[in-house]
A = this chain, B = another copy of it.
């Protein structure tokens, strides 16, 4: 069985405000375009772990689209199912940090090329080759994307493959009934669940973390990795419960850190790495990610992770 990983979701460019402040109602210094989109960052980090992987997405035939395709292809992602749509514009996200760490956004996603993501023949081809599906919950914003994800889910599970699931959602998104239903179907098929902080509680009737973990493992999930940002990460399975502290680094830009963490953990999980070492490695990926400006700029290779881990061991 191949362990090739496929994911379905949005590709965008990110344009960042250079200085913090409120919104975009006057001309300010900006920097970009940076390749971005949560599933794109995830799959790029996975490719940098030398893990075979593919992405199903759609960009416009413009510099922003080609910038993303070239980055992903260069890092080793199979981009054959990233459609280049002639009559659409690549998605974009303007991001400005406020002084308190909150962010203001101006998004162009739903009416961008991402609105044309769907089950193309190229998508079916990469799904046919895949042994694992990674689902980014925040990507399930259209019926066509949900259709493609659930198709991939059924195909890959039917062949004995596995599924990982990062909700990456805010509570307000759950008002869209089709999304809620799709997330429940994904969770029921999930092997490796990767929620951040309070997301765990969106998926259980239990409103206590320990009880929710027990509830979810009782439903058949193999493992849960709780991403807790600067407080580190916790791996919970039927017979194991390990927390590994985060590395202390100077945070420049947190965007993308959770995606780099998750992809690194998934690569280790698929390779059979033990949970303690895998959490440490994934924490290292998260730490490296926050030290670089730009959502995908902090993605790290195997060698970069090895070097970071060796340095921190020496320092300890």
Residue numbers of A with Cβ under 8 A of B are 15, 23-34, 62-64, 66-67, 70, 88-90, 92, 104, 106-108, 111-112, 294
Contacts and interface: CB of A to CB of B under 8 A. Distances in A.
Contact of A27 (B24, B32, B62, B111): B32
Number of copies: 2
A25 B89 contact: no
A26 B27 CA distance: 21
A277 to B, nearest CB: 34
Contact of A25 (B29, B67, B106, B108): B67
Contacts of A24: 33, 63-64, 67
A25 B66 contact: yes
A104 B33 CA distance: 14
Given A15-B15, A111-B88, A63 B31 contact: no
A-B CB proximity, top 8 nearest: A24-B63, A30-B30, A89-B108, A23-B63, A25-B67, A25-B63, A62-B106, A27-B34
Contacts of A104: 63
18 contacts: A24-B63, A24-B64, A24-B67, A25-B70, A26-B67, A27-B33, A29-B29, A30-B30, A30-B31, A63-B104, A88-B111, A89-B107, A89-B108, A90-B106, A92-B92, A108-B108, A108-B112, A111-B111
